[in-house]
């Protein structure tokens, strides 16, 4: 098999290379003589690391707490947060309450939003929003839709863009083809909704 020059350059001694998709992995390997065989048999002893254009990256063991996994929506939330200042500028309450109201509306629209865990943010229930701010929830949904210039139902795929936290490690869900197409249609890059 033919490998790029950087793979040959950075390959550690005593390893063999295997390609998986577009990633090159180095595995510790030795040869072992077997009786009645003409040639030695290769024995793979474990993964050493991966190789890319910048060098060899040794395998590091990461221990992840799989007993406590937190999955939170971030795509839809981060898209709507881009319009927070405009929403806030249209209301008369103190600034912090206006921001909390807008963020409460985002949580109303996406129950699993990471804003539920955001320090310094108070998320109001629907009865609290209605009583404290005298808002009609359908009117607020319409207002948010007008501010962002999209039908919120059209943005539904963004609700499945999530971050996953296990212990101190954080992972991001991979975007689907339809999510990528939606981002392209609305003119956003992936890192703008992460």
Residues of the chain by 3-state class (helix, strand, coil), percent to 5: 40, 25, 35
Q: How confident is the model at residue 21 (pLDDT cuts 50, 70, 90)?
A: confident
What's the whole-number mean pLDDT along residues 121-128?
96
In the chain, the percentage of residues whose pLDDT exceeds 90 is 50
pLDDT at 35: 86
Give the span between the Cα atoms of 117 and 120, in whole angstroms.
9
Return mean pLDDT, the chain: 90
Helix (H) / strand (E) containing 148: helix 137-148
What's the whole-number mean pLDDT along residues 132-140?
93
Give the span between the Cα atoms of 152 and 141, in whole angstroms.
8
Q: Residue 137 corresponds to which tokens in the numbers above? A: 């929830």
Question: Model pTM greater than 0.75?
Answer: no
Residues 6+ apart with CB under 8 A from 126: 108, 137
Q: How confident is the model at residue 72 (pLDDT cuts 50, 70, 90)?
A: very high
Q: Residue 107 corresponds to which tokens in the numbers above? A: 């949580």
Q: Residue 160 corresponds to which tokens in the numbers above? A: 């499945």
What's the whole-number mean pLDDT along residues 159-166?
89
- In the chain, DSSP assigns E strands to 15-20, 23-32, 41-52, 55-58, 69-73, 162-166, 169-172
Q: How confident is the model at residue 61 (pLDDT cuts 50, 70, 90)?
A: low
């Amino acid at each position: 098999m033919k490998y790029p020059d950087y793979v040959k350059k950075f390959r550690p001694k005593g390893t063999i290379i295997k390609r998986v998709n577009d990633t090159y992995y180095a595995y510790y390997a030795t040869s072992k003589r077997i009786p009645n065989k003409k040639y030695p048999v290769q024995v793979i002893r474990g993964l050493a690391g991966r190789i890319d254009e910048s060098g060899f990256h040794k395998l590091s063991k990461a221990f992840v707490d799989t007993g406590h996994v937190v999955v939170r929506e971030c795509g839809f939330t981060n898209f709507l947060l881009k319009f927070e200042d405009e929403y806030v500028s249209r209301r008369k309450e103190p600034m912090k309450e206006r921001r909390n109201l807008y963020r409460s509306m985002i949580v109303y629209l996406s129950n699993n939003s990471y804003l539920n865990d955001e320090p310094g943010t108070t998320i109001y229930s629907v009865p609290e929003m209605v009583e404290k701010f005298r808002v009609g929830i359908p009117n607020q949904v319409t207002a948010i839709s007008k501010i962002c210039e999209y039908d919120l139902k059209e943005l539904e795929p963004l609700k499945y863009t999530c971050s996953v936290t296990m212990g101190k490690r954080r992972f991001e869900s991979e975007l689907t083809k339809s999510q990528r197409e939606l981002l392209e249609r609305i003119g956003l890059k992936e890192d703008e909704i992460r």
